[in-house]
Chains A and B, each alone.
Chain A
Amino acid sequence: MHAAHAIVSGFGGIRTAGDLVARMQFNGGMRNDAAKKHVADKLGCAVAELADPVTMNELREDMDLGRANEAPEIAKGIDAKFRISKLLDLEINCVEIFKKKIERGF
């Protein structure tokens, strides 16, 4: 059922910009159209390109935002979320917690 909804109506998550639009909905208080515009502006692409996996794969790799097919030296997990937080101008809880742990020193 999850796969079917993803094909029929979804963005495609980190294959595209679905996770970024979702962040603006959940933590940015934006409805879908506003969230899409915000993400497209920050990525420097057209709203219509947000759900295109070919364009977004290139963009995500260039901006080091993590992507579905992991490869050496491409951001993964929290590493990608540090850059996503900065890109979207949006606090991400786990990134803030991570920063606080680092600030305690080694």
Chain B
Amino acid sequence: MGKIQTRLGDGFMVEMTEAEVRQDLEDGTNDAADRASVPPLTQDELDHLYDIYASPYKVVSVERGKEVCLSYDSANTKIKRAQISTSKIQSLQVLERALGADSLELAHIDYSFKPVKPIVTFEKPIMEQAVLLTIPPLLYGAMPNMALYSQPDGPSPNPADLLPKGKIKEARESQEQSMEYLIADIVHVGEEMYKSGSDGLNLDTTASAGDAEFLASLKAVEILKKKYPKMAIQMGMAAEFVLGMHGELYYDGVRLAGLYPHEQVKVAMKAGVDVFGPAVNIVTQESLPWNVARSATWIKACSEASDIPVHACLGMGVGGVPLNLTPPIDALSRASKAHVEICKLDGL
């Protein structure tokens, strides 16, 4: 039997036999199906994934005609993080004219709503100028990141300190208090940037602090959509599973703790989200075929359950892309093609 060169979830290369790759694909989809009670990938889909991973070529791509739209979390700060000496607007122009971006996102280097709030007055003129100079849809983006509202960084008692002491009621009250601060910050920033001309708002890495953060984000979306019905709102998730850090929070009768992507998208739609981004974290010690089969199983179910465009999160450490600062193009191109084709995505 021939050997197939692939990688583990941390990016390091491994050689596997054809049988091992097929087994990992099957194990990955079955793991996802069992956890979320969704159907596993069909044999045809597993065969397609096998062909993608067995391809000897360094780069693979979607078939002609199956192109999707790309959106970005914190687009201009990726240029900043590489320490390339360009302004935010110049970075957006690089994305627009050199990197083939279908949409753009303006962001602050400290990519959370809480630190953006005090500097939003400095972000507004940048947005006002950027919309004059660029053509694709331009969103403003930041992370809800509710943990920043806990002590020592914020005003609320830290639930992570209270829970180990058995202070469950106090931990819940603290999260409920943080939710109010977070809602106010998301609404303020979203409103200010929309008044400056943005096409919408991206809430990225939503629910990183669990169900309370998810609920706060949904409520903020509701408020913004009620006031600005034409504002486009994108919501990208933090993980495949909403952590029940509070455990007793509901949105429209749906308990938020424990929701998987095909359930997350339904509450997001109810709140008024226009584009949803499911995220599936990588398991670093498993192979990429295992990870991609697992991720595609959840994201396919999400795409099928959705009435709105689905842009799956395929960055470093999510969606079968290795958890590595320099994702190898062989790994990234396979994850990209696999998700677009298997999950019938609208974007990435």
Chain A residues near B (Cβ < 8 Å): 1-15, 18-19, 21-23, 25-27, 29-32, 35, 47-48, 50-51, 65-66, 68-69, 76-78, 80-81, 84, 91-94, 97
Given A1-B316, A2-B78, A78-B131, check contact A93 B230 (CB 8 Å). yes
State A97–B198 Cα separation when bound (angstroms).
10
Q: A5-B348, A26-B234, A94-B199 are in contact. List 17 more A-B contacts (CB 8 A).
A: A3-B99, A8-B333, A10-B68, A10-B70, A10-B102, A11-B100, A13-B70, A14-B136, A18-B67, A18-B100, A19-B102, A19-B137, A23-B199, A25-B275, A25-B309, A26-B275, A69-B97
Contact A9–B65 (Cβ < 8 Å): no
Chain B residues in 8 Å Cβ range of A50: 67
What range describes how many residues of B lie at the interface?
Answer: 35 or more
Are A8 and B275 touching (Cβ within 8 A)?
no
- Asked whether B100 lies within 8 Å of A10 as measured between CB atoms, the reply is yes
Query: Hey, what's the 0/1 contact readout for B65-79 against A, CB within 8 Å counting as 1?
Result: 111111110010010
One of B56-64, B161-169, B171-179, B243-251 contacting the partner: B56-64
**3 tightest CB-CB pairs across the interface, nearest first?**
A94-B197, A18-B102, A19-B136
Of the candidates A8, A48, A77, A84, which one forms a contact with B65 in the assembled complex, judged by CB atoms under 8 Å apart? A48
**Interface of chain A: mostly helix, strand, loop or mixed:** helix
Chain B contacts with A in 324-345, Cβ cutoff 8 A: 327, 329, 332-333, 336-337, 340, 345
Given that A31-B308, A94-B197 are contacting pairs, would A76 and B133 also be in contact in the complex, using a CB cutoff of 8 Å? yes
> Complex: how many Å from CA A66 to CA B134?
9
Instruction: Check A32/B136 contact, CB under 8 A, given A18-B70, A18-B102, A47-B65.
Output: no
